[in-house]
Amino acid sequence: MLPAIQRFDQVLRTAVRWTAGGLLLAVTVLAVVQVFARYVLNDSIVWGEEMIRLLYVWLVLVAATAAPHMRIGLLADAATGVLGFVLASVRVAIMIALLLLLVRGALTLNASFGGDRYVTLGITKSWYWSGAIVCGILWIVLLVTGLLSRREETVE
């Protein structure tokens, strides 16, 4: 069962990286086109700024789910075997608790402001808060699959 979890973890992380890359490409292309339209054609893409802001929020959240994060690994890197797995489990549990707060806050904000609409895009702002909800849950899944993959390495 654990090799299947490791494979799922790898596939999911690859999909997240490709998604983040696609969002970065979309933001970059839209920003360049918007600058070209404004300064060369003396016209503006009305919806461009709102779309860039929305895509950028999703980009940051998607990329954060699978990015290696800064940590002080003095004790965690020195601990191997079962102790290392226990320390990693505690770290993951704390991160999951914080991510659940993020998701809860995003759900609350979505309930309060999700019905508002972007002026030029015509879509609801629930797309904005949905990024934190979806990516928070995705991040939790990646934390758990990453921890289980490490458990497999600890057992061997």
pLDDT tens, residue by residue, 97-110: 999 999 999 999 99
- What is the predicted pLDDT for the residue at 130? 92
pLDDT digits (tens, 9 = 90+) for 7-60: 898 999 999 999 999 999 999 999 999 999 989 988 888 888 889 999 999 999
- The candidate with the shortest Cα–Cα distance to 35, out of 26, 45, 22, is 45
Give the model's pLDDT for residue 68.
77
Cα dist. 53→37, 49, 115, 155 in Å?
Answer: 18, 6, 18, 45
CA dihedral 27, 29, 33, 35 (to 10 degrees): 60
Torsion of CA 75, 144, 99, 115, to 10 degrees: 160
Q: What was the pLDDT predicted at 24?
A: 96
The residue that leads in pLDDT, 150 or 94, is: 94
Give the pLDDT of residue 78.
72
CA distance 26 to 31: 8
Question: In this predicted structure, which of 66-70, 98-102, 130-134 has the lowest mean pLDDT?
Answer: 66-70
Query: How far apart are the C-alpha atoms of 134 and 99, rounded to whole Å?
Result: 11
Angle (nearest 5°) at CA 126 between 134 and 43: 115
**Residue partners of 38: CB distance under 8 A and separation at least 6:** 44, 45
Residue 143 has pLDDT above 60, yes or no: yes
The fraction of the chain above a pLDDT of 90, given in percent, is 47
Kindly report the pTM of this predicted structure. 0.82
